Amino acid sequence: MGALDECHYNVELENGVNLGNCVEPETMVIEDAVRVLLQGLGEDINREGLRKTPLRVAKALREGTKGYNQNVKDIVSGALFPEAGLESKVGHAGGAGGLVIVRDLDFFSYCESCLLPFQVKCHVGYIPSGQRVVGLSKLSRVADVFAKRLQDPNRLADEICASLQQSIRPTGVAVVLQCSHIHFPDFRSAIFDPNHQRWVKTSFKSGSGVFDDEKADSWTDFFSLLKFRGLNAEFATSGGLVCKSWEMGSSDPAMLGAVSSIICSLGEDPSRIELLETPARFLNWLMNFKNCKLDMKLNGFVRNGNFGSSVEEQHICSEVNLPFWSQCEHHLLPFHGVVHIGYYGSNRVINPVGKSLLQSLVHFYGFKLQVQERLTRQIAESVSSVLGEDVMVVVEANHTCMISRGIEKFGSSTATIAVLGRFSTDPTARAKFLQVIPEMS
């Protein structure tokens, strides 16, 4: 792929930074590796939706690990301000001496155990000394330098803490991270465990100076002012995130090598002990989304068995909040959410077999490389072969690609609608179904 072709040029502009006309060799190595992965998933790498995926993935990974090239000293120097205080006396009143806390900073980081992004809500506190304070935004910028690397959350907390201690030289620094990591939804757990957690939240902390002692009074002050006031926050001391407990399957050597070469291109050493199993864990996740040629031969099965009734008796029925997982084919990043299905049926409540069939349909179309628009349409078409031609499907999802890659829209979510039959011509029917959809949690 030529360095000057249109595709490279566009994506550089798209990220707001023109890196010149030359694509870096690391980016091209990642592109090649992503092509190996796509082929391993049984995909056609020349299909329109996938053609630029290797470049998109490479850019996203390099953007998400740009912290390797950033220097905390450059950030903090020039942002230390003299601020008088009462430091020499017993009390201290703000400025030098008083606790300063910046709360609820949203970041994401790539997990070094599985290469999937995890979300971080970060709280940083420090007690100034030497009669100087640091610009508040610098606490956020410094945390971001370490978040934008392949990370383990314990190390992330320690690195933010140590680098602030070293660059500001305060009386103490406290860092609390609340991390949300994807819980591995293999077919089994996703399909058979209705209470399967989608995210596992774990908290981590690190302290230096007067926060060195876990039982220090300064920690009590700090916790009192975090948003989980009154909660007994429990902190993990080891073990890291949930992916460390994932079971490993066997993986294709070429794909394992491709993931290793990606890790290399980010400037990491794949033989570092924490990274040894990363390619296998990542592939274990990725292979859930292998292109499956299996046709679902459902036509008429449930319709005749359970849902048939005369037109006169029919009214709008719904199944809401069917969970799904999928993988965005543009960025090879997870998206997940819920599917709501509306249809015309008789008065009866849908039976458990019918409900689990709908859930299976949702998983069938979720577990592949997808875009949300297509997922919605495919579920609608497939459901219509089971439940009749009048079908409405709403998919609500959170996209990992909307919180990473420089977009960082942490609260955003996406809804897509597909309508068939009566739902496409009757706004009242649509409104009636939309009303029963609960707010997304």
Q: Restricting to residues 148-207, name those near a second copy by CB under 8 A.
A: none
Interface with a second copy includes 13 (CB under 8 A)? Answer: yes
Interface with a second copy includes 7 (CB under 8 A)? Answer: yes
Burial class (CB in 10 A: 0-12, 13-18, 19+), 34: buried
For residue 411, count other CB atoms closer than 10 A to its CB.
8
How many degrees, rounded to 5, is the angle at CA 155 between CA 171 and CA 117? Answer: 125
Residues 127 and 171: beta-carbon distance below 8 Å: yes
Pick the binder of a second copy from 1, 5, 22, 74 (CB under 8 A). Answer: 74
Stretch that binds a second copy, among 169-177, 194-202, 263-271, 408-416 (CB under 8 A): 408-416
Tell the smallest beta-carbon distance from residue 234 to a second copy (Å). 20
Pick the binder of a second copy from 32, 63, 186, 221 (CB under 8 A). Answer: 221
Stretch that binds a second copy, among 76-84, 181-189, 272-280, 341-349 (CB under 8 A): 76-84
Map the footprint of a second copy across residues 342-401, applying CB under 8 A.
371-381, 391, 393-396, 399, 401
Tell the smallest beta-carbon distance from residue 282 to a second copy (Å). 22
Interface with a second copy includes 412 (CB under 8 A)? Answer: yes
Pick the binder of a second copy from 225, 254, 276, 349 (CB under 8 A). Answer: 225
Query: Which pair of structure tokens corresponds to residue 87?
Result: 């430091």
Stretch that binds a second copy, among 67-75, 232-240, 271-279, 281-289 (CB under 8 A): 67-75
Stretch that binds a second copy, among 183-191, 214-222, 281-289, 356-364 (CB under 8 A): 214-222
The 3-class SS string of 225-283 reads CCCCCCCCCCECCCCCCHHHHCCCCCCCHHHHHHHHHHHHHCCCCCCCHHHCCHHHHHH
Query: Can you tell me the distance from the alpha carbon of 53 to that of 38, in angstroms, rounded to the nearest whole number?
Result: 9
Residue 214's contacts (CB-CB under 8 Å, 6 or more residues apart) are: 207
Interface with a second copy includes 421 (CB under 8 A)? Answer: yes
Map the footprint of a second copy across residues 115-144, applying CB under 8 A.
128, 133, 135-137, 140-141
Question: 204 φ, ψ to 5°?
Answer: -135, 150
For a second copy, the closer CB: 271 or 412: 412
Query: Can you tell me the distance from the alpha carbon of 285 to that of 115, in angstroms, rounded to the nearest whole number?
Result: 10
Query: Can you tell me the distance from the alpha carbon of 120 to that of 156, in angstroms, rounded to the nearest whole number?
Result: 10
Residues 140 and 104: beta-carbon distance below 8 Å: no
Tell the smallest beta-carbon distance from residue 249 to a second copy (Å). 31
Map the footprint of a second copy across residues 265-304, applying CB under 8 A.
none
Query: Can you tell me the distance from the alpha carbon of 193 to that of 199, in angstroms, rounded to the nearest whole number?
Result: 14
Tell me, by CB under 8 A, how many residues bind a second copy: 100
Query: Can you tell me the distance from the alpha carbon of 68 to that of 62, in angstroms, rounded to the nearest whole number?
Result: 10
Stretch that binds a second copy, among 187-195, 231-239, 253-261, 416-424 (CB under 8 A): 416-424
Tell the smallest beta-carbon distance from residue 219 to a second copy (Å). 10
- Beta strand 172-182 with 199-209 is antiparallel
Interface with a second copy includes 213 (CB under 8 A)? Answer: no
Interface with a second copy includes 321 (CB under 8 A)? Answer: no
Stretch that binds a second copy, among 36-44, 221-229, 254-262, 275-283 (CB under 8 A): 221-229
Pick the binder of a second copy from 37, 72, 111, 402 (CB under 8 A). Answer: 402
